[in-house]
Amino acid sequence: MTETTGEPNSGSAVPDGAGAQEPADRPLVELRDLRVHFPIKRGVLLDRTVGWVYAVDGVSLRIDRGSTYGLVGESGCGKSTLGKTVLRLEKPSSGSIVLDGTDMSRVSGEPLRRMRRRMQMVFQDTLSSLDPRQSVESLLVEGLRAHGMDEGRGRTERRLRELLSAVGLPASALRRYPHEFSGGQRQRVGIARALAVEPELVVADEPVSALDVSVQAQVLNVLRDLQDEYGLTYLVIAHDLAVVRHVADRVGVMYLGGLVEEADSDELYERPLHPYTRALLSAVPVPDPEVEDSRERILLSGDLPSPADPPAGCPFQTRCPWRQPGVCDVERPEPRELGEGHRVACHYAESIRDGALPGGSAGTVE
């Protein structure tokens, strides 16, 4: 399908400038103790800061080249803020974001703008993230121009056709406007736009949640094919655990600004250790009545606490069925490694796994 023109850098992962001899095992993205706090302002004249929203509060993770990292969590857990901060669309309060050896948290101005070519975003709402007055051609060319990649009419046109065919749209789409497409097609345009500048990292924030299920599958398949073809690295942010399991190699579960559990996808879904992950997994409806009738659910009581006023100790302690007074409400658990690459931030992960801790059953219903 894709034109094989023999051009040197059609969608490659070769970074510009920086050098091609970086160590192979270095992750593309590394976050170290990343924090993003938003001030809560009050007052008209004085504009005092009366508190902070701890949107992202100490997240460390690595994303390997060519892999997909899935970030799951419920609304308000900070996953979208984290995604935006990785792209430096939000400024981190502290900690570092290392993209291929460069600490992005310290870059600004023109160097930052140049780095932006290497990381792109796919948004949830295609209707508001694509300018309704721009044709698809103009949407796609804009990024190329901004990064000086527009190399004459002939080559650019060829590049655009190649992009459209890669996302499964006809070449006639170039002259059309966003409103002329269905939701699924629009998301393909959004993906093509992100890929136009040959990024290495693509952050996709809820890429399919606005789409109908039959169309979701089409878009998920496109994302996978593109990754295989161009060796892309994805950070996929979603609330749908089944979608994340389907696309991600490694999964991080966020709760109230922090990563409570992280593991390779198969490991996480087969052996979830954190009570929150267990509750989440048990709550996802499965399209099979036999499973639905017989499964055990861990019903959590109450809602997510406010990220402006997180509870003391473990952030999950207010809803945890296994909460141990005197420990969980006092000390915040640090992520610990339990098994190969499986990190959990829970004081009692082992006891809960082995069923040695009373509780849990209180919130469990058949």
**Which stretches of the chain bind other proteins, using CB under 8 A?**
74-75, 182-185, 212-218, 220-221, 224, 239, 241-243, 245-246, 265-266, 269, 279-292, 297, 299-300, 302-304, 365
CB of 276 to other proteins, least distance (A): 9
Angle at 222 between CA 153 and CA 136, to 5 degrees: 35
Contact present, 345 and 260 (Cβ < 8 Å):
yes
Contact present, 282 and 297 (Cβ < 8 Å):
yes
Contact present, 322 and 359 (Cβ < 8 Å):
yes
Q: How far apart are the C-alpha atoms of 216 and 130, rounded to whole Å?
A: 19
Rg over CA atoms, the chain: 22
Burial of residue 359 (number of CB atoms within 10 Å: 0-12, 13-18, 19+): middle
Cβ density class 224-239: b for 16+ within 10 Å, e for less: eebbeebebbbbbbbb
Q: How far apart are the C-alpha atoms of 348 and 35, rounded to whole Å?
A: 25
Query: What is the helix (H) or strand (E) element at residue 337, kind and residue range?
Result: strand 336-337
Contacts of 51 by beta carbon, 8 Å cutoff, 6+ apart: 39, 40, 308, 309
CB atoms within 10 A of CB 244: 24
CB of 224 to other proteins, least distance (A): 8
Burial of residue 175 (number of CB atoms within 10 Å: 0-12, 13-18, 19+): exposed
Q: How far apart are the C-alpha atoms of 181 and 184, rounded to whole Å?
A: 8
Q: Record the tokens describing residue 280, joined without a space.
A: 């989440």
Contact present, 233 and 200 (Cβ < 8 Å):
yes
